[in-house]
Structure 1
């Protein structure tokens, strides 16, 4: 039986690039979560919720299972006929995308705040994906937001007991079904069609001194990593670290970077690990390194694109139809595209911008400097995919260059394409007003900066990145303020929308060098970093003298 519950709008339920993210205590307010979930069903693209199939799951963080139950009750009252739910509510973001696509579902709701901390006092998030398996485009998120502003009631079915999320199989209710699925199986089967698992296994067997260490940071990818790296590829259990999903991520910050994945970094250096890797809370981000080299995300996607059609079966079958990067990501992948005669796209930050290009058959591999890498096998970035891609590449190169390592593969890449030195400075949870004022003032003084020389670099252009989607012709403005120098170096200033409180200021710095490959990135980029701080007057606006994270 369906019942209606009177409610009223809440301020601030506007989805960002990855859904709605707030503190758990915000979502726990009476009607708050229900309002937003109802708004999703109200705004579902045609033909709407009636008779639809919906995939539901999340990264295991605190409050997730409660919200799964709310989604089922509200969705059923809005006409959803079939729910496909990960066992215990668990689904990584890439796995959810894979399941939506495999089962031709009408969309999915993913419960995650991605790389943000979890727990009763930390973060929660709700994201809607459309039937292509990707994040909802702005037209849909705008419709969801509009629904939150006018909501007067939400509908839900009355159930005598919570839905059993633990038992795999189909449960029948009055007017709808709930199918609980193994959260890992469909994803693993898809991954096995993409990469050369036989080649990787042979390489592991023939190279006993090669070591792998994968850290799930107590996030959702632990079960996926065990099934793929241990069960399928034969690496030892000791190759896995922090692979049990925890509601609070064990008190860790589940963001795979050099600052927050410090346990992994220390072990990789101490134990001379050949390939170290980490993923984030919901499994869509990744970090790749070795004991003697850190692979920037910008370089990682470029290297994968460089080797993909040569050794990864999926791309050997389909070929490469185009490459893309987010605007702040370094131009390394552009150089691969030029060398291979491929179309290259520069899009705003947010994975949804890649989806249209993939659906149109114009994009195969893409990435973001924020540790996101992926391809058109699904419509989300995919952390495990990137790690297996590196294993596939290492195994392939070792066939002709025995002993080839992460460092030597990077060296070969730089010799072919040159090196794009890159770093990112994050200033997290700064006062939003001060951060916004800094960007506004930078925008105002941009024309006066052109022609100035700072620390030996002459500014040739200052602009706000604007993107016109070549498929649907939608326009996205004010996507990041770019300062361009006469040698193609770039400084980019951008406010991030992935936090739950305050603002995050991100400064991206890039310099290309065709001949010098072995400089320390922070040393190579220091003059540009100093120029960025001078131009922005960041300390004046934010009070910060040091970044929270340096990548």
Structure 2
């Protein structure tokens, strides 16, 4: 990985070239050093823009700075720290300059800001999530502790690109001065000691379960080690290796190295030894995602989300369940409608939002969403007494929730899900990618409910056509069409010449394929210029 690190410092992005400019997507700015999309200049510019944003927002408290185990994360962390120190920003870094998982940064921000008498804090996290080893990433979490919304990221992106064109104006100090300026903070101790607030740790201890944890070479490692030290829980960390090349990883479905804990191919190492454990789990490098493994293998993320919702609505007696304060359940509109059915069975309200965890942040922060989850294995929840825990995705807590479910109910999550299907029906779900021209991608932005004139979809009457999410009224960036027995949603890729079709049928696999074919035909008609 030395060549990538060298390129990080030596390659200079051209701010006049669109592909080399700062670009914030749903999870911050990501790129590669050798492609001049993730270099020191990007980090200096983004960090200075965040400093400016803090001034605009009136934040005068500490900035919590975290990083994961990718090869470019430490160099980027050092660059960010140098700019923050030069700007006299109080910075909190992990004790011993260690790695810091995304949910730990979010939790630390929330804990600090829970005291209304102190200046507001925020955070930066250096991570490209589960992306390949050569990738780099940086994301910003404002004072609410979760991913920044599009207003904030748009402002930071624009300001960062201004700095990219005059990078010498960004103030920096030496790394030695920057480290002396920073305050070491025990993120892990704070998080692990507070876990009983959100998970029934005692139930897991009483059950005497044997748990397996695969940090996949990432930031979950010190957290699982601290959990073993603090609580009477038997956890075997199946791989304690931290290797920036992630050479121990099995290739993903496409042959690439990708630390995706929702992928059976990437989770092959843990799946081979699953029978040693009552339940096991994996986390991606920044520990914001979860992969749940029991006797039946790796659980589909959609299935586990449905189980979590049903369990939480049955086992969180202090969560308000009636009246104006009744907690809602959040899901993205491409997540399984099994969640809709579970929520309805409990007489609760669903909060359906576009793709992106940022749409759950306000509800988790303000305490009106008990749970928010997305089909890509990211979720978070309130504490057992209904207070904010993490407003970013928390893969570690979701793994512990799986253990709690087994400890309390005696059912593995996959057995629990099977019982749900017996009561509520069996969904069949798939995502497919379809080639898409630039003109067709542009046509997605112009879609309205009136654009869909068809009355039926795969033989069933269309019950709704959505271009805005029902929960918060935000634009989907595509379209969702529903019937009584199924649905499809389509949205263009932000980086590739294709659009994604998500579909689900409660009839059969054959009906699911018919749904997808009908969706593609329908879209071909409405997207044709």
TM over 0.5: yes
- Judged with a 3 Å threshold, the aligned counterparts in structure 2 of structure 1 residues 410 and 145 are, in CA distance, closer, same or farther, namely same
Q: TM-score, normalised by structure 2?
A: 0.80
- 2:478 aligned with 1:480: yes
- 2:217 aligned with 1:218: yes
Whole-Å separation in 2 of the counterparts to 1:378 and 1:36:
24
- 1:370-385, aligned counterparts within 5 Å? 370-376=376-382, 377-385=389-397
Whole-Å separation in 1 of the counterparts to 2:445 and 2:510:
26
In structure 2, what is the equivalent of residue 464 of structure 1? Answer: 467
- 2:487 aligned with 1:525: no
Secondary structure, in 3 states, of the residue corresponding to 2:488?
strand
In structure 2, what is the equivalent of residue 98 of structure 1? Answer: 107
- 1:269-288, aligned counterparts within 5 Å? 271=275, 274-288=278-292
| Counterpart pick for 1:291 among 292, 295, 300 | 295
- 1:125-524, aligned counterparts within 5 Å? 125-151=137-163, 152-153=166-167, 154-159=169-174, 161=176, 163=178, 171=180, 177-204=181-208, 211-228=210-227, 232-237=231-236, 240-250=237-247, 252-264=257-269, 266-267=271-272, 271=275, 274-292=278-296, 294-311=298-315, 315-319=316-320, 321-376=327-382, 377-398=389-410, 404-425=411-432, 434=437, 437=440, 440=443, 450-451=453-454, 455-457=458-460, 459=462, 462-466=465-469, 469=472, 476-485=474-483, 487-497=484-494, 502=496, 505-512=499-506
In structure 1, what is the equivalent of residue 53 of structure 2? Answer: 43
User: Which deviates further from its counterpart, 243-252 or 327-336?
Assistant: 243-252
Kept after mapping to 2: 8 A contact 1:354/1:366? yes
Deviation, structure 1 residue 63: 1.6
- Judged with a 3 Å threshold, the aligned counterparts in structure 2 of structure 1 residues 48 and 248 are, in CA distance, closer, same or farther, namely farther
Whole-Å separation in 2 of the counterparts to 1:203 and 1:523:
42
- 2:44 aligned with 1:31: no
Secondary structure, in 3 states, of the residue corresponding to 1:364?
strand
- 2:103 aligned with 1:116: no
User: Which deviates further from its counterpart, 92-101 or 415-424?
Assistant: 415-424
Task: Give the RMSD, CA atoms, in angstroms.
Answer: 3.4
- Judged with a 3 Å threshold, the aligned counterparts in structure 2 of structure 1 residues 528 and 356 are, in CA distance, closer, same or farther, namely same
Whole-Å separation in 2 of the counterparts to 1:80 and 1:219:
27
Whole-Å separation in 2 of the counterparts to 1:137 and 1:442:
20
Kept after mapping to 2: 8 A contact 1:452/1:458? yes
Secondary structure, in 3 states, of the residue corresponding to 1:258?
coil
Whole-Å separation in 1 of the counterparts to 2:213 and 2:493:
27
User: Which deviates further from its counterpart, 57-66 or 405-414?
Assistant: 405-414
Kept after mapping to 1: 8 A contact 2:271/2:297? no
Kept after mapping to 2: 8 A contact 1:455/1:531? yes
Kept after mapping to 1: 8 A contact 2:292/2:399? yes
Secondary structure, in 3 states, of the residue corresponding to 2:244?
coil
Kept after mapping to 2: 8 A contact 1:214/1:278? yes
- Judged with a 3 Å threshold, the aligned counterparts in structure 2 of structure 1 residues 43 and 236 are, in CA distance, closer, same or farther, namely closer
Deviation, structure 1 residue 444: 6.5
Whole-Å separation in 1 of the counterparts to 2:89 and 2:354:
33
Which ranges of structure 2 fall in alignment gaps of 5 or more residues? Answer: 1-12, 114-119, 250-256, 322-326, 383-388
**Cα deviation per residue 1:493-541 (whole Å; 9 max; x = unaligned)?**
22355xxx6467432111236xxxxx7xx56633334444555579xx9
Whole-Å separation in 1 of the counterparts to 2:42 and 2:443:
32
Q: How many residues align?
A: 484
Q: TM-score, normalised by structure 1?
A: 0.77
User: Which deviates further from its counterpart, 99-108 or 449-458?
Assistant: 449-458
**Cα deviation per residue 1:377-427 (whole Å; 9 max; x = unaligned)?**
1101111111111111111112xxxxx333331222223433333233368
Whole-Å separation in 2 of the counterparts to 1:479 and 1:45:
32
Whole-Å separation in 1 of the counterparts to 2:438 and 2:186:
44
Whole-Å separation in 2 of the counterparts to 1:319 and 1:233:
31
Whole-Å separation in 2 of the counterparts to 1:495 and 1:183:
38
- Judged with a 3 Å threshold, the aligned counterparts in structure 2 of structure 1 residues 446 and 103 are, in CA distance, closer, same or farther, namely closer
- 2:47 aligned with 1:60: no
- Judged with a 3 Å threshold, the aligned counterparts in structure 2 of structure 1 residues 508 and 87 are, in CA distance, closer, same or farther, namely farther
Whole-Å separation in 2 of the counterparts to 1:126 and 1:230:
31
